[in-house]
């Protein structure tokens, strides 16, 4: 991590804080290990990898939104470090990924790190297709830049298996459900 940047200084300071907690007790200041040197070193490596992946996802996002513009400006990802407040002294931080709208800075969603890594794999495929020939070559079930439910994925998989007439019938059913007068 480059300590010459504000981000680097902030990260280094945070890593120091998770290793040691200063406790004031009866005017005596003592150092007590919080999560320990080994866990702090492991977390530091995980955080560095996450920062690299965030940079990668943000680059993919720029290319994606240039190739396929949407009404809203492209999104970008940042890291959110989370700890359980009631066990702060012994809790190892968890990495979360926050997605924001570039123009408004509005938070769109928060993903667990494991979900982000899965989505990053899909983003890599999109990126390879777009930079290869400017088109999406695969029939993708989901757009990796949006948060969707398991139900949405199942519906999309079913839609991909349907023939033309089946799709029309299904679309009519969905529209009837949405616009049903009660």
pLDDT (tens, 9 = 90+) of the chain, 182 residues, equals 555 777 777 777 777 776 654 333 223 333 445 677 777 788 888 988 999 999 999 999 988 888 877 656 678 999 998 877 666 666 678 899 999 888 888 888 899 999 999 999 999 988 888 888 777 776 676 788 877 766 776 777 777 777 667 767 766 676 666 565 44
| Contact residues for 40 (Cβ-Cβ < 8 A; gap 6+) | 15, 18, 19
Task: Tell me how many helices (H) and strands (E) the chain has.
Answer: 5, 5
Residue holding tokens 């200063």?
22
Nearest-angstrom CA–CA distance, 13 and 18: 9
Tokens, residue 41: 């070193």
* Contact criterion met (CB below 8 Å) for 34 and 25: no
Report residue 181: phi and psi, to 5°. Answer: -90, 125
Domain edges within the chain: 37-145, 148-182
Closest CA to 139 of 157, 123, 155, 127: 157
Angstrom distance (rounded) from CA 93 to CA 81: 6
And the tokens for 140?
A: 């993708």
Please say whether the beta carbons of 38 and 49 come within 8 A.
no
Residue 127 has which token pair? 């990126």
Residues in the chain: 182
**What's residue 73's pLDDT?**
61
Strands 20-25 and 28-33: antiparallel
User: In whole angstroms, what separates CA 106 from the centre of its chain?
Assistant: 14
Rg of the chain over CA atoms, in angstroms?
A: 22
pLDDT at 22: 38
Angle between helices 37-67 and 113-133 (to 10 degrees): 40
């Amino acid at each position: 991590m480059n300590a010459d940047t504000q981000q680097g200084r902030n990260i280094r300071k945070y890593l120091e804080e998770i290793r040691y907690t200063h406790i004031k007790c009866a005017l005596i200041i003592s150092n007590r290990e919080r999560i320990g040197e080994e866990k702090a070193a492991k977390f530091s490596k995980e955080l560095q990898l996450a920062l690299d992946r965030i940079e990668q996802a943000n680059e993919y996002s720029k290319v994606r939104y240039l190739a396929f513009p949407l009404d809203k400006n492209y999104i970008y990802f940042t890291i959110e470090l989370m700890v359980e407040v009631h066990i702060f002294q012994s809790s190892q931080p968890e990495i979360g990924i926050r997605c924001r709208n570039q123009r408004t800075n509005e938070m769109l969603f928060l993903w667990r790190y494991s979900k982000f890594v899965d989505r990053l794999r899909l983003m890599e495929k999109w990126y390879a297709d777009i930079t290869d020939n400017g088109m999406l070559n695969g029939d993708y079930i989901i757009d990796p830049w949006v948060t969707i439910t398991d139900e949405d994925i199942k519906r999309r998989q079913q839609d991909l298996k349907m023939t033309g007439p089946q799709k029309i019938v299904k679309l009519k059913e969905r529209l009837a459900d949405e616009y049903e007068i009660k």
